[in-house]
Amino acid sequence: MKTGLNIAFFGSSLVSAYWNGAATYYRGLIRALHERGHRITFYEPDAYERQQHRDMPDPDWARVVVYPADREASALKVLESARGADLVIKASGIGVFDELLERAVLDLQKPGTLVAFLDVDAPATLDRIQKDSTDRFRLLIPRYDLVLTYGGGKPVVKAYAAAGARQCVPIYNALDPHTHHPVGREARFEADLAFLGNRLPDRETRVEEFFLRVAAAMPEKTFLLGGNGWQDKPCPKNIRYVGHLYTRDHNAFNCTPQAVLNVNRESMARYGFSPPTRVFEATGAGACLITDQWEGIEMFLEPEREILVAQDGWEVTEHLSSLSPGRAQTIGQAARKRILAGHTYAHRAAQLEAVLAGEPQETRLA
85-134 pLDDT tens trace: 999 999 999 999 999 999 999 999 999 999 999 999 998 899 899 888 88
For residue 363, is pLDDT > 80? no
Domains of the chain: 6-174+344-356 (3.40.50.2000), 187-342 (3.40.50.2000)
Q: Report d(CA 301, CA 340) in Å as an integer.
A: 11
pLDDT at 332: 98
Q: Report d(CA 248, CA 17) in Å as an integer.
A: 11
For residue 220, is pLDDT > 90? yes
pLDDT at 2: 67
- Kindly tell me the burial class for residue 70, based on how many C-beta atoms sit within 10 Å of its own C-beta (0-12, 13-18, 19 or more): exposed
For residue 1, is pLDDT > 80? no
For residue 253, is pLDDT > 50? yes
Task: Find the range with the poorest average confidence among 13-22, 125-134, 355-364.
Answer: 355-364
pLDDT at 267: 84
Percent share of the chain, pLDDT over 70: 98
Q: Report d(CA 83, CA 86) in Å as an integer.
A: 9
For residue 335, is pLDDT > 50? yes
Strand 114-119 and strand 239-243: the pairing is: unpaired
pLDDT at 362: 64
Query: H or E element: which one contains 292?
Result: strand 289-292
Task: Find the range with the poorest average confidence among 2-11, 41-50, 216-225, 346-355.
Answer: 2-11
Mean pLDDT of 351-355: 96
Mean pLDDT of 228-234: 96
Tell me, yes or no, if the pTM score tops 0.95: no
256-305 residue pLDDT tens? 999 999 999 888 888 889 899 999 999 999 999 999 999 999 999 999 99
Mean pLDDT of 128-151: 93
For residue 365, is pLDDT > 60? no
For residue 364, is pLDDT > 60? no
Q: Report d(CA 24, CA 180) in Å as an integer.
A: 10
301-323 residue pLDDT tens? 999 999 999 999 999 999 999 99
- Strand order through the sheet with 39-46: 63-68, 39-46, 6-10, 87-91, 114-119, 146-149, 168-170
Quick one: DSSP state of residue 184?
-
Mean pLDDT of 182-196: 97
pLDDT at 132: 87
pLDDT, averaged across the chain: 95
